[in-house]
Amino acid sequence: MNEKEKGLVDAFMRGTMSRRGLIKGLGSLGVSAATAGVLVNLAATRALAADFDWMKHKGTTVKLLLNKHPYTDAMIANLDNFKALTGMDVQYDVFPEDVYFDKVTAALSSGSSEYDAFMTGAYMTWTYGPAGWCEDLNAWIQDAEKTNPMYAWEDFLPGVIKSCAWNGVPGGALGSADAKQWCIPLAYEQNNLTYNKRIFDANGLKVPTNIDELLDTAKAAKAVMNGGYGIGVRGSRSWATIHPGFLSGYSNFDQKDLNVGADGKLTAAMNTDVSKEYHKKWVQMIQDSGAPDWSTHTWYQVGTDVGAGKSAMMFDADILGYFMNGAGNAEAGNLAFSAFAANPAAAGPTPNIWIWSLAMSSFSKQKDAAWYFMQWATGPEHDLFGAREMDLVNPARSSVWADGAFRDKLSKSYSGYVEMHDASAPGASIKFTPQPLFFDLTTEWAATLQKMVAKEVPVDEGLDMLAESTNKQLSEAGL
């Protein structure tokens, strides 16, 4: 970087020059927009090194276990800056998600020290943490000798970072004062509406704003789909069917999966009158307007169908809509986004969230070095790089969401995305009750939902049976 280039980049970093002005200025010096992004990231790395001994573990190699994902792509694309900053080396294994969590479980349950840090969903730490497989990161976060002063803990979106912390007590509130920080977010997914603007505009359809409008719009959309269907939601016999759109709408009516008694005991909460009414509407929506093979639908089918124009909209992860609006999909450029509050009386949306995070293996032999990598990968500088230059959506930091270049990038190609996120972020968090039977109980909930849609059991009866089974399993487990 020559002195003229350095002067322009430094002005941008200080906030005295816009991104447009930076690119124009660098362009006059013969620097491409892509190279401009690299230069800005180098400047951020240089600034990061100013007041912290990033070279403390120079010569050390850390090894990561990673899921194949755009968040991983952003991390790998920026590794040279981490290496330059720290003098450390990074090795990694990347596996597709259909086998990834089996790889994590095998490594952790065997006590292997091969991996120092690994990607995880926050839900998985409800198993890994109490089992002693991953570290409580508070010991590093709160140590000024080990955490750089620019890490900006308060910059994390509150609902996201608190959802990554739990005290390990079944039913304990996420993010409580005594919570253990089992993982740190890389980025996260809200659950809102992605709809096909082309189909909506051509047929005079209005974007629904509550559960009743959702049923009506989905039915109207199906009628004009020529063999397609109105709305995509997940339906496979898996916990992952409950957590996206379904739970986001459910929690908007102040409904819970479990109650926590004064004695700390857990009991089923999904068979209230309000819950039964919500379930009836959800089941009717699928029966009237969902995919014919709904009970097989996972993330993949829900996303590919809206991307192919086979469904008019989906109530699922916003980032799924983001990727389906990209090149290679039939409806690329036609998808738009909207925040969704199922309850018309609610103050705003309350999306349940999925959080891809980094956790530290309890079996690592070089935990301090691993933490250096983790704080860099979850820090504001890398988050900004991933958001601006790669596909790291949704970033977990407020400062990145305030960045004009990132917001412009989204608004240019993803209609309504910024507004959707801004409206939903205050209410976005994990809505489930943390406890060790989470996956089993939630999978049974999905199986019950399948029976309701197939008309094998009435909704009221099905929920009473589910609550009875849930209470039995909780009691047997001493919960």
Strands 229-232 and 311-317: parallel
State the pLDDT at residue 192: 98
Residue 390 DSSP code: S
CB count, 10 Å around CB of 96? 10
- Give the largest CA-CA distance in the chain: 73
395 phi and psi angles, rounded to 5 deg: -60, 150
State the pLDDT at residue 422: 98
Q: Which residues of the chain carry a pLDDT beneath 50?
A: 14, 16-17
pLDDT in tens, 361-374: 999 999 999 999 99
CB 402 within 8 A of CB 387: no
Instruction: Answer positive or negative: Cα dihedral of 153, 158, 160, 161.
Output: positive
Instruction: Name the percent of the chain lying above pLDDT 70.
Output: 90
Whole-angstrom distance, CA of residue 459 vs CA of residue 89: 55
pLDDT in tens, 78-130: 999 999 999 999 999 999 999 999 999 999 999 999 999 999 999 999 999 99
Whole-angstrom distance, CA of residue 408 vs CA of residue 447: 42
Instruction: Answer positive or negative: Cα dihedral of 322, 323, 327, 330.
Output: negative
Whole-angstrom distance, CA of residue 187 vs CA of residue 322: 14
CB 90 within 8 A of CB 81: no
pLDDT in tens, 149-191: 999 999 999 999 999 999 999 999 999 999 999 999 999 999 9
Structure tokens at 272: 């209230």
State the pLDDT at residue 14: 46
Whole-angstrom distance, CA of residue 52 vs CA of residue 60: 17
Structure tokens at 421: 């996120």
Strands 191-196 and 229-232: unpaired
Query: How close are the terminal C-alpha atoms of the chain, in Å?
Result: 60
Residue 29 DSSP code: T
Structure tokens at 201: 């505009």
State the pLDDT at residue 51: 81
